[in-house]
Amino acid sequence: MPRILMTGASGGIGTSLRKLLPPIYPDLLLSDIKPPADLGANEQFKAADLADLAQCEAICEGVDGIIHFGGYSVEGTWDQILQANIIGGYNLFEAAYRKGVKRVVFASSNHAVGFYPRHHRIGTDVTPRPDGRYGVSKVFGEAVGALYADKHGLKVTCLRIGNFGDMPLDQRRLSIWLKPDDLVQLCRIGLEHPDIHFEVFYGASLNERAWWDNHRAYEFGYRPTGRAEDFREHAMAEQAKLKPDPVGDHYQGGAFCSNEFDGDASRIIDWNKR
């Protein structure tokens, strides 16, 4: 069986996948800057600070594939994003290359394209429109992944993850929800499919309100089982509790777009005329 490294094991997604991945990849190595509080006796863990290349090399030793969920997972200061996501992201790919890792699944984000309007359906080949420093770091990570795939032959899959969880929590998430089992399915495609070179997929379940064209994932065999509309009543009830956000409600990135926004709000009207 392949030896798989998962970074970000102490985060929200990592915590969920720690339960779902072992039956598929029994030789699973977990890593984060600190161990999970509930680390089990049967779980393998190596601590690493992604901003330190030597520590990244240590966790990549003897590894066949990597699921990279490590880094800063929300908007932050430039230094926080720089160290964890940009320097850390580069180090992870460089360490994987140096240690002969064959495949990397990189957790990108919908925030790499967050400034597209919600009425604009987009594919994976659009110009990036990040909605913050976090989104910029995900654009960078995708670019580094492409470099290592094309120049060094690393097989790379980037997942622009929407909203991961057991159910969509509001109206926006009805369009971008990702069921945990469906994320596992996407990770398996990246780690196992023979035709992967460099791909970008959207991390989304079967969402009838989707803003994204995810046909490339389907071409590689993706068949999501989660259906967002099954939770429509709950999501809309939660939406009614939220305050209006003229900027965030217009763009796909939601509150990431309205956070620190002091640009030209008239562009929202202009987009509506297109």
Q: Where in the sequence numbering do the catalytic residues fall?
A: 134
Residue 248 corresponds to which amino acid?
A: G
Half-sphere exposure of 56 (CA within 13 A, CB side): 24
Phi, then psi, of 141 in degrees rounded to 5 = -60, -40
Q: How far is residue 58 from each of residues 50, 52, 62, 99, measured CA to CA in Å? A: 11, 10, 9, 9
Distance CA 11, CA 70 (A): 8
CB 113 within 8 A of CB 126: yes
Is residue 228 within 8 A of residue 208, CB to CB? The reply is yes
14: tokens are 């990592």
CB 65 within 8 A of CB 105: yes
**Computed from CA positions of residues 59, 64, 26, 106, in that sequence, does the dihedral angle turn out positive or negative?**
positive
Q: Are 177 and 204 in contact (CB under 8 A)?
A: yes
Sign of CA dihedral 122, 123, 128, 132: positive
